[in-house]
Every structure is written in structure tokens, then in C-alpha cells.
Homo-oligomer: A and B are copies of this chain.
């Protein structure tokens, strides 16, 4: 389970073989992906795990400058996040991604490349996300000031078989976190729920 100590000989070195995985959040803007990603990250770090959160905005800044929000550009961005998540998780790190990742096919394509992949659908009705409007983007999108905005003027394709579904309009963040941690425990990725 999770950790397997291997001693590598004369230097007395020990290598902890911790199994990395990718925790892939998907959902509308404002659904709560980044909040939950941060909470899971904190929890796992307290368990002594190495964790990297690949947040949508930060990753776009670092890997996808110049790309826009067409289907092709969104797909390229998601593929890049998937590539980085793959590199991290195959090296024992927990890679947590928190990009909208609206297209089902694209998420499945990423899943196919990452052996240890856990998809979390952060479900929240559009009206609730728009009412929260954390970044003030829904108001602009509904006024037509932002084009290609997921849920308003661009599609969001719900996952058909995600490992976890959380419903942030009727669960507290702590309840959603517990669902995710339970699943990670049941899948054998963490030693404590």
C-alpha cells in the first residue's frame, strides 16, 4: 500500500517507493475545483506526500501562453497539463489538476496516457456557479464581453464515469473532501482516508 521501503545497499540509502497518481478535477468555472484541490493537497502533504497542484490559470501562464479558448487551443492546453501530470505522477508525486477541461474526449485521451488516474467531477449547476461568480467572469460572459465561456457560450461535457462526483451546491467543502479522500483510500493511493 502506497509506501514500500527499498534499501539500496552500501551507502545505507533508502528509497521510499511512494505510488504517485493524478487527481484530475473537472467542472465549470466557480464549481469549486481549486478550493477542493487545495484542500486535498493540504491533507496529502500532512500525510507526508509530495503534491503538486496544476491550476488552470497558472499552467496556462507557464505552458500555453498565446493559446486561446477555441476547441483546438483548449485541447492543446489540456494535453500539456496531462503531459506534466504524467511526468510527476510516474515519479511518485501526486499531481492535482484543476482546469475546467470541458471536453470528454480530451479528458479520456489524457486518462489513457496516465496509468494512475482519478477523475473528480465537481458538479455544480450553472446558475449556482454564476451566482457565486468568484472571478466576476460570468457577469462579463453573460453580457457578451467574454466569448467562448464554458457553460455560457461554450460547451461543458459532463464525465460519464468519473471515479468521484462531488456536488458543491449541496455539500460542504469538508464533505466533498471526505468523499475524495475515501475514494483515494479505497483505491489504495493513500494510507488514511
Contact = CB atoms under 8 A, between A and B. Distances in A.
A65 B72 CA distance: 12
A171 B155 CA distance: 58
A121 to B, nearest CB: 25
A84 B91 CA distance: 13
A174 interface: no
Copies of this chain: 2
Nearest to A79: B62
A48 B15 contact: yes
Interface residues of A, number: 32
Nearest to A59: B83
A191 B62 contact: no
Interface in A149-177: none
A13 B47 contact: yes
A57 interface: no
Given A3-B13, A5-B14, A13-B3, A80 B92 contact: no
Interface string A1-18: 011011010010111101
Contacts of A16: 5, 14-16
A49 B17 CA distance: 10
A5 B16 CA distance: 9
Interface string A54-84: 0000000011011000000000100110011
12 contacts: A2-B13, A8-B47, A11-B192, A13-B48, A13-B191, A15-B16, A62-B79, A63-B80, A84-B84, A84-B87, A88-B91, A92-B93
Given A11-B191, A11-B192, 12 more contacts: A3-B13, A3-B14, A5-B16, A8-B47, A13-B47, A14-B14, A14-B16, A52-B91, A63-B83, A84-B84, A88-B88, A92-B93
